[in-house]
Amino acid sequence: MKNKKTYLAEVYLNGQWMPPQEATVSVFDRGFMFGDGIYEVTPFYHGKPFRLQDHLDRLKYCLEQIKIPFDISILEPLMLEAISRSRLATSDAAVYIQISRGAAPRNHYFPDNPKPNFLMYAFPVELENFSGKRWKVMVSEDFRWQRCDIKSTALLANTMMKDDAISDGYNENLLVRDGYFTEGSHSTAFFVSKGIVFTHPEGPHILSGITRKVVLEICRDLGIGYKEEALALERISEVEEVFLTGTTTQITVVSSLHLKGKEIFTSQKGQITARLQEEFLKRTRG
Ligand code: PDD
């Protein structure tokens, strides 16, 4: 499962397209030294971006939150170019964007007049067939910081958790902070209890997922009841369905949840998840 290969033709770094092996930044880049940067992942279904404006709005919000000056109006044509240059216009792909604060003498405080390093590339991703996918998920303590709404490249906590999950034979983590489920290590969490869909409210403890927003829109449109309310770990026995969402995760069914090796949830029929998946496919492929 580990060390999957990713094929990359070209990357865009600070105004130029180049082979990845030629793309370099300073060792004093603050992204390298402090994780002082922002990233974004936007899906492209057969060459067409999905919810591009939402992804750009989130990127802008995150840049403002950490005070990196960057003009996002240049991004859309470059993202399309990344897709066509990587010959990904007729298959499914995603565009990765990363903006760090750039190189500066190592001080904790932000430098004056920063020169951000801007990296972008397109990569192939399988966005099909998620309806047959079922994930075995490990429940982990959410020991991340208190600004999970910022899509920061500083993902050490997320990567530590995910590595634990993969090493122990799980597909993803479901995180718990102060007794309540927050989200996955790289996905949004949803629960269905008595026919109502629950997901954690937006705020500093989760990333405002774009797929999350789409799923809630679908709930509204299909008349499925939902609550943006955190679910307590101790209420897991009242849950009938669990699913995780994200740009690459799409809508993935959780088959079972495991806390310290003990199974605490096994999925039942999953009718609501199936309806949401069906409608999500229509919207992303329409
Ligand atoms: N994950 N929460 C976290 C911590 C994430 O890293 C992600 C995204 C999400 C879902 O957000 P969105 O629906 O906007 O992708 C929630 C990466 C990008 C992914 O799974 O593709």
Q: What is the pLDDT of residues 53-90, one digit of tens each?
A: 999 999 999 999 999 999 999 999 999 999 999 999 99
Please report the pLDDT score of residue 146 as a whole number.
Answer: 98
CATH code of the domain in which 160 resides = 3.20.10.10
pLDDT band at 158 (very low <50, low <70, confident <90, very high): very high
Among 70, 98, 124, residue at a domain's last position: 124
Helices (H), the chain: 30-34, 52-65, 75-85, 156-167, 210-222, 271-285
Convert 67-88 to b/e letters by CB count within 10 Å (16 or more is b): ebebeeeebeebbbbbbebbeb
Measured distance between the N- and C-terminal CA atoms of the chain, rounded to whole angstroms = 32
Is the Cβ–Cβ distance between 233 and 258 less than 8 Å?
A: no
Whether 252 lines ligand 1, by a CB cut-off of 6 Å, is: no
Q: Which two tokens stand for residue 104?
A: 């500066």
Phi-psi region of 122 (alpha: psi -120 to 50; beta: other; left: phi over 0): beta
From the CA of 58, give the closest atom in ligand 1: 14
Residue 2 has pLDDT above 80, yes or no: no
Residue 67 annotated as catalytic: no
Same domain as 138, residue 113? no
Q: In the prediction, which pLDDT does 3 show?
A: 57
Single-letter residue type at 277: Q
Same domain, 89 and 231: no
Position 5 in a domain: no
Residue 2 lies in a domain: no
Distance 106 CA to ligand 1 centre (A): 30
Q: Of ligand 1's atoms, which has the minimum distance to the CA of residue 207?
A: 2
For 254, the token pair is 């959780």
How wide is the angle at C-alpha 229 spanned by C-alphas 64 and 204, nearest 5°?
Answer: 25
Q: How far is the CA of 185 from the centre of ligand 1 (A)?
A: 8
- How do strand 16-18 and strand 11-13 relate by DSSP bridges? antiparallel
* In a domain? residue 78: yes
Residues 200 and 224 in one domain: yes
Question: What dihedral do alpha carbons 184, 275, 46, 51 form, nearest 10°?
Answer: -60
What is the number of structural domains in the chain? 2
Q: Which of 64, 98, 63, 97 is nearest to 79 (CA)?
A: 97
Q: Are residues 26 and 42 in the same domain?
A: yes
Q: Is the CB of 189 under 6 A from ligand 1?
A: no
**What is the tens place of the pLDDT at every residue in 162-202?**
999 999 999 999 999 999 999 999 999 999 999 999 999 99
Q: Which of 193, 274, 269 is nearest to 231 (CA)?
A: 193
Final residue in a domain of this structure, among 124, 156, 183: 124
**Does residue 205 register a pLDDT over 60?**
yes
Ligand 1: which atom is nearest the Cα of residue 213?
13
Claim to verify: residue 177 and residue 46 sit in the same structural domain: no
Is residue 214 domain-shared with residue 280, that is, in the same domain? yes
- Cα angle: 210, vertex 214, 217; to 5 degrees: 140
Same domain, 52 and 190: no
Domain contains 3: no
What range does the domain containing 90 cover? 11-124
Q: Are residues 147 and 88 in the same domain?
A: no
Residue where a domain stops, chosen among 124, 148, 177: 124
Q: Which of 60, 151, 162, 227 is labelled catalytic?
A: 151
- State whether the beta carbon of 249 lies less than 6 angstroms from ligand 1: yes
For the Cβ of 98 lying below 6 angstroms from any atom of ligand 1, the answer is no
pLDDT at residue 36 is higher than 60: yes
Q: CB of 186 closer than 6 A to ligand 1? A: yes
105, 146: one domain = no
Identify whether residues 162 and 257 lie together within a single domain: yes
31: CATH: 3.30.470.10
140 and 230: one domain? yes
